[in-house]
Structure 1
Amino acid sequence: MNIQSIYQLYSISSGVEINSKKVKKGSIFVALKGKNFDGNQFAYEAISNGAILAVVDNKKYVRCKKIIFVYNTLYFLHQLAMYHRYRFHHIPIIAITGSNGKTTTKELTAAILSKKYNKVHSTKNNFNNHIGISLTILSMPIDTQISVMEIGANHEKEIEKMCSIIDPDYGYITNFGIAHLEGFKSIEGIIRSKLELYNFLKKKIKSCLNGDDPIQLSNSKGMKRYIFSEKKTTDINIEYLWTKNSIKSILSIKNKKIVSSLIGDYNLYNIASAITIGIYFKISLKKIKEAVEEYVPNNYRSQILIKKNTKIIVDCYNANPTSMMKALTFFNNIQGNKIAILGDMLELGFFSNNEHDKIISFLEKSNINIIFLIGNIFFNTKKTSQRIKKFMNKKNFVEWIQKYSIQKMDYILIKGSRKIALESLIDLI
């Protein structure tokens, strides 16, 4: 079967699945392989669970007519997604990448666009890698009016590859922070990687740019740009009203004050970029204000929970040196008694110890009353402050907190990498 024939089958299917246990009746199962699994082994199970077709790249698993062989199932998945995008090239796609703030910016942008468009498609969950992007494209209904897609990466040329799959019309880079250094090797590698989006978009319609970011400005010359900044000479002039004692992110545009439920100054650019994209697509400021102020963060990103009069800032969906330092700087400026519960920052490779030491140095000079550090990397750092308590793992911390409990505070910050899953501690506080 060629890609056109399979696509015809896909067009009447209930979608594409890569997990045989999640197969829906009438879906297509694509058998992918990873370090610890081989999806080919589950092709027949997928058919038994209701799939109308299973695609494998190992001939020995072709056990019935509904199972077909291709030379590489991942390449096949990319090709099927590209074909779907080609068929619906008229649907505008906005691609968002960057080291921090991708998901928040994507969700805000989708919320704003929904004030004008009835059918806004966007990346679900964390489907932002080369597999997730393909599944996201294939989940785009034919009546989609506009789509917002998040692109993640942990090594160079990955964003370039994903752009070739989704063929975005517009794009925005949130920032160039220190993240995934294990794959990128250096900050220069991070910058080159993120700029792959702008390089792809040079012949496209427009890119949204943060005019306060010199890296973006200098590397986007010659592009069709739509720039926001505090400078009045840019396309969109935004005034940031956040102060050191503020918790919520507040800004103003054309004298219209917008108060977001998002916290801290580090979310201001995320909000500003989503507003700028909304203005470009001719959405009224009234509707934009409604969308931003209605948006409530979830998934442990910049959430505020209140328990026993203590405000718990839950920002533990992920962490890297840039996002950690921004969160701690914001937290340090808040007035009141404070506790920080921090987990290891992962995927930093050779730079890991040094980056964790930098966080420790900041904490030692901070005004945070008590600091709990969780994870093997933090545990092996040097510390001098009596305010810092270290635990090898989360289990050890849980045992300590059940024995001693945490004293009452005005604020608690919880932040760490996704694999540390610090949100499980919320009920113990």
Structure 2
Amino acid sequence: METLSVAEILGWTKGRLLQGNPKTVISSISLDSRKLKKNSFFIAIRGEKYDGHNFLKEAFERGAKGAIIDSKFTPTYFLPPLLRFAKQNGGGGLRRGGKKILIQVADTRKALGDIAAGYRKRFKIPLIAITGSDGKTTTKELAAHLLSSRFRLVKNPGNFNNEIGLSLTLFKLKKGIEVALVEMGMNKPGEIKRLSEIAMPTLGVITNVGQAHQGFFKDKQGIARAKAELLGSLSKGTAILNKDNQFFPFLKKRAKGKVITFGIKKKSDFQAREISSVSQGIKFKVNNLKLKLPLFGYFNVYNILAAIAVAKEFKISNQEIKKVLRNFKPLPHHFQLIKLRKFCLIDDTYNSNPLAFREAIEELARMKTEGRRVVIASEMKELGKFSRKEHYLVGKFIAQSKIDFLVTIGKLAKEIGKGASQAGFRKENILHCQSNEEVVKSKKIFLPGDLILVKGSHACHLEGVVEKLKNQERLTSI
């Protein structure tokens, strides 16, 4: 991060300077009092588990040059000991000339975004924003992999895709950075709009519109409108859209500038052909390019196409794309094939929603195996009033696919079993477990030669099941 003045922060946040010199310069911003650096500025954010205001004294003790507090902060409880500490360390109490900076704003979370937006304006560089119901993180990582072969790049780590994660990513911008690449997530209307106001993207990608976070919306049309908020920020920028998605016409109408398309079924600017699964991943053709990647799933073809569309906008050649993608490493917990001594696991525990679940089932059905195709299914979160119905429909889908054995975990996942059995899936091939531990202990689930898909929402912690099974296999193979 490049240096900022307190005056700039005050201008961007419309905050009130309670103490300190507005000419003071800071070199980093932190939300974690344990990770403060020299000349850092601490922003006290209120979260579900912790309130940053409780760590103000610790932040100053660790060397924070200043802090931002919100208007709900109660001076009578917190401020006296804080100011006593500041006075002991040259702060001088509440006065403009004090060395320790204290700024008050209405909302510290919003102030963080406002500072990030102001800081972003310093850098006249392309910024790519990626959103969608599925495939955001994989598409972002693929695009970053391609672009970093030629450009100095900043991207958000993992799925740091909310206002806090985006803001902290933008603070990584500095002289010499040529491109920024960010993922944008949401679970209610207006969030993508806010993230776009902060990031000011020049190119936007919408991977698809599905049923992720459906519980926060009346219908899928509402999800599509929320994703389309990204397009509203691209006054002259390029939009990259999935032509196969049912909401493509809706999204295209809302794009203000150039539109580039990708897809498999419909004729697109980047259309995949001759797709086939191979032992180590997937191969296909797109335009004049033949590709083979260590990724599994037709759904990943869409992610690859979107990333290639981004790369071509930056004039990266076909030859370079082919060379770079060959070395892409699959992301942990994203349909990750793990070959164990007796059977194979597919770790798809990163997250889940109805569309992603169906895509995973379709790919499992295509894959070759010596034994059974087994699904271990936990709950899909954030579906609200649609939860029971969507779990039931996933079960029906499983019954219509080439799946041999089904394991469900949790109350809502029981609806998956109900949907499967009522659609003709044999009841003796359905096992319901109350906990992840019960799954690991069950011997009838894991037979030699089986191919086992483990899938559920991140909140269900199915990655723990995968790790325990891997550890068991290591122990039995010693």
Secondary structure of 1:220's partner? helix
Equivalent residue runs for 1:7-406 within 5 Å: 12-13=26-27, 15-57=28-70, 58=73, 60=75, 61-62=78-79, 63=82, 64=86, 65=91, 66=100, 68-71=102-105, 72-88=107-123, 90-117=124-151, 119-201=152-234, 203-213=235-245, 215-221=247-253, 223-229=257-263, 234=268, 236-243=269-276, 248-308=281-341, 310-336=343-369, 337-379=372-414, 383=418, 384=421, 385-398=427-440, 400-401=441-442, 406=446
Residues 240 and 268 in structure 1, CA contact (< 8 A), matched pair in contact too:
no
* Kept in 1: contact 2:42–2:64 (CA 8 A): yes
Q: Which residue of 2 aligns with 1:418?
A: 458
C-alpha distance in structure 2 between counterparts of 1:211 and 1:382, whole Å: 33
Any conservation in 1 of the 2:26–2:41 contact (CA below 8 Å)? no
How far, CA to CA, are the matches of 1:50 and 1:249 in structure 2?
51
Change (3 A) 1:52 1:109: same
Tell me the alpha carbon deviations over residues 243-283 of structure 1, each in whole angstroms, 9 at most, x when there is no partner. Answer: 47887232213433111111110111110011111111101
Shift, 1:344, TM fit? 0.7
Aligned equivalents of 2:310 and 2:25: distance in 1?
31
Amino acid at match of 2:118: Y
Q: Which amino acid aligns with 1:389?
A: L
Three-state SS of the structure 2 residue aligned to 1:376 is coil
Shift in Å, 1:41: 0.8
Letter in 2 for 1:213: N
Contact 1:228–1:273 (8 Å) recurs in 2: yes
Distance 1:43 1:11 in 2: 19
Q: Partners of 1:92 and 1:212 in 2: how far apart? A: 27
- In 2, Cα distance between the equivalents of 1:210 and 1:9? 48
Deviation at 1:137, TM superposition (A): 1.2
With normalisation by structure 2, the TM-score equals 0.82
Secondary structure at the aligned position of 1:294 is classed as coil
Contact map agreement 1:10 1:28 (CA 8 A) in 2: no
Shift of 1:425: 1.5
The structural deviation recorded for 1:381 is: 5.6
Residue 10 of structure 1: how far off its partner (Å): 9.3
Given that 2:144 and 2:181 are in contact with CA atoms closer than 8 Å, whether structure 1 keeps it comes out as yes
> Which shows bigger deviation, 256-265 or 358-367?
358-367
Name the amino acid aligned to 2:8: I
Shift of 1:53: 2.2
Would the aligned equivalents of 1:70 and 1:76 in 2 still touch at CA under 8 Å?
A: no
C-alpha change, 1:426 and 1:159, in structure 2 (3 Å) is same
Q: Deviations over 1:161-205 (max 9, x none)?
A: 11001100000100001110121231111110011111221x122
Aligned residue for 2:349, secondary structure, equals: coil
RMSD across aligned positions (CA): 2.5
Residues 45-74 of structure 1: per-residue CA shift (max 9 Å, x gap): 122223322222225244224351312211
- Count of matched residue pairs: 422
* Higher gyration radius (CA): 2
Q: For residue 352 of structure 2, what is the amino acid of its counterpart? A: A
Q: Relative to 1, partners in 2 of residues 1:10 and 1:138: Cα closer, same or farther, differing over 3 Å?
A: farther
Q: Does 1:428 align with 2:468?
A: yes
User: Does the CA-based 8 Å contact 1:115-1:288 persist in structure 2?
Assistant: no
Letter in 1 for 2:430: I
TM-score by length of 1: 0.91
Tell me, which stretches of 5 or more residues in structure 2 are unaligned? 1-5, 13-21, 92-99, 422-426, 470-478
In the alignment, structure 1 segments of 5+ residues that lack a partner are none
Using a 3 Å threshold, how does the CA distance of structure 1 residues 380 and 233 change in structure 2: closer, same or farther?
closer
SS at match of 1:286: helix
